[in-house]
Structure 1
Amino acid sequence: MSTPATDPTAPATAPDPTGPRARRAAVPTGSRGRLPGPLRVGLSRGWMEIRTFAREWESVIFTFSLPALILVMFASIFDGLYDMGIPTVDYYLPGIIAMGLMSVSFQTLGTAIAAEREYGTLRRLRGTPMPPSAYFVGKTVLVLFLAFGQLALLLAVAGLFFDANLPSTAQAWATIAWVLLLGTIGCSLLGIAISSLARTAQAASAVVVVPFLILQFTSGIFVPVMVLPDWVLNAASLFPLLWMAQGMRAGFFPDEMAALEQSGAWDLPMVALALGAWCVVGLVLTLLTFRWKTRKDG
């Protein structure tokens, strides 16, 4: 039997779009076609948060300069005025570091997230394919960047301008590191939770700044612990700033200075327990109260 001749001028037959070859081509291989995970998206968003923050030069100057200016004023005005057993700058440095860490976490997130909610940023983000957890990863990256920047600036100012005695042992720096991490995480979660209390972005400043300012005077930041009444310290111990300051003092101060604490000791296990508890409490409050929309949006 003869084979039919093929006409070279005839158009080629189009491939079947439903055939097995087409189906195999449509199946992604490896990472092709796979959406990035929450961690990757969150890290990218964190980098975007840092760049956005850096563009607002007023916020950059205020955020980083205020604790440093307070340290400079206290070290200059109170130098030799009180007998604290150590130089004035050495005494105030740990507390102001704790204050700066709470500022870049609790205060920054409390006001910024309230503004993003009112201006519709959160509502628009919730409508995108971005996993909700990626938003919080991005905020965590921003806060850690600000926290380490704040710590580096305060150490540089204290060391270069006032010749402060900085910690010289690995154990002391390890204490500073875990207090920084636990305190910053706990204050960040508390800031996210308290952002939902403010009805407007303008009201967020009062909701966040007023309790933060009160804690600075009752937690041994501006006023030495040994002159504060017990009832004031007991009330302040319900919040993380007092424990952050105490943990920082344990890292910076010599061991004999522990006698000036309320209990006469650094109580580092209690510091870790209190800050860890605030991480848990802050997470629960965030899960219960966080809103992507304002109340008027439903």
Structure 2
Amino acid sequence: MCMLRNGEQLILAIVLPLLALIGLVVTPLLDDLASASISRVDIATPGVLALCAMSTAFTGQGIATGFDRRYGVLRFLSTTPLGRTGLIAGKAVAVAVVLGLQVVVIGTVATFMGWSPVIAGIPAALLLLALGAAAFTALGLLVAGTIRPEATLAITNLLWILLAAGGGIVIPPEALPDQLAAVAQLLPSGALGEALRSALLQGQFNLTAFLVLAGWTVVSGAAAVRWFKWS
């Protein structure tokens, strides 16, 4: 829970996703995708939940791990039996705890705003959200463990902005320019956003998005284990 005691990470974990949810619901950005049976909040909430996973697992863990490297915490851990695999597993557990809190907060606020997900799609959404969190955790650790600690903060925040704005996570790919939409669907951000929208709007399991997320998880996880630097 130390992530939530850090002001910047608290903003990334809770405040910005809430602002994104409110902004998408009160503005007409999603009107072209809404219909009589699907409201703005129904479209916005799955993307905001995906944004929570990216905020916590990628940016939050990247920042935390970068500072751990800078202050020698990881160097100390390297002398214990934890190892790289154990470190990644521990980070994944921390992400799961914070993400669970985010889901409760965002889900509660969205429900008060009129959100009505397809109940049958909730189990698939939770599974895909966990897979997306795993992919972003591996990516965050890869960035934080292979570049200079001083650069981690800037890079993770910049990537968060770029992926949130044009990565298909909050704004569905079909609402983006054609070339950008094609790229977004291959990114973990776009795949997770589409996976949650398919599950919570239509009650469907998006196999393509699942395969994209699984690929990012395996490749990024293997790379993080192979090249992660302790100092």
Task: Give me the TM-score of the superposition, normalised by structure 1.
Answer: 0.70
Q: Relative to structure 1, is the Cα distance of residues 279 and 220 closer, same or farther in structure 2, using a 3 angstrom cutoff?
A: closer
Conserved? CA contact 2:3–2:9, under 8 Å: yes
2:164 aligned with 1:216:
yes
Deviations 1:102-149 (A, max 9, x none): 111011111111111111110112123545443322211110011111
Q: Find the counterpart in structure 1 of residue 115 from structure 2.
A: 164
Which protein shows a greater Rg? 1
Q: Give identity over the alignment, percent.
A: 26
Cα distance in structure 1, aligned partners of 2:3 and 2:30: 39
Deviations 1:141-172 (A, max 9, x none): 11001111111111100102x12112222xx0
Gaps of 5+ in 1: 1-49, 256-265, 294-298
Higher helix share: 2
Select 1:98's aligned residue among 42, 50, 68: 50
Q: Find the counterpart in structure 1 of residue 194 from structure 2.
A: 246
**Which amino acid in 2 is paired with 1:199?**
R
2:110 aligned with 1:150:
no
Conserved? CA contact 1:113–1:192, under 8 Å: yes
Q: Relative to structure 1, is the Cα distance of residues 290 and 78 closer, same or farther in structure 2, using a 3 angstrom cutoff?
A: same
Number of residue-to-residue matches in the alignment:
229
**Which amino acid in 2 is paired with 1:279?**
T
Cα distance in structure 1, aligned partners of 2:60 and 2:111: 26
Q: How does 1:47-66 map to 2 (within 5 A)?
A: 50=1, 52-56=2-6, 59-60=9-10, 62-66=12-16
Cα distance in structure 2, aligned partners of 1:77 and 1:115: 37
Select 1:174's aligned residue among 101, 123, 135: 123
Conserved? CA contact 2:195–2:209, under 8 Å: yes
- SS at 1:241 equivalent: helix
2:192 aligned with 1:192:
no
Q: Relative to structure 1, is the Cα distance of residues 99 and 55 closer, same or farther in structure 2, using a 3 angstrom cutoff?
A: closer
Q: Find the counterpart in structure 2 of residue 74 from structure 1.
A: 24
Conserved? CA contact 1:198–1:207, under 8 Å: no
Gaps of 5+ in 2: none
Cα distance in structure 1, aligned partners of 2:31 and 2:126: 31
More deviation in 60-69 or 98-107?
60-69
Q: Relative to structure 1, is the Cα distance of residues 91 and 80 closer, same or farther in structure 2, using a 3 angstrom cutoff?
A: closer
Task: Give me the TM-score of the superposition, normalised by structure 2.
Answer: 0.88
Deviations 1:225-255 (A, max 9, x none): 3332332122223321111011100111137
Q: Relative to structure 1, is the Cα distance of residues 245 and 75 closer, same or farther in structure 2, using a 3 angstrom cutoff?
A: same
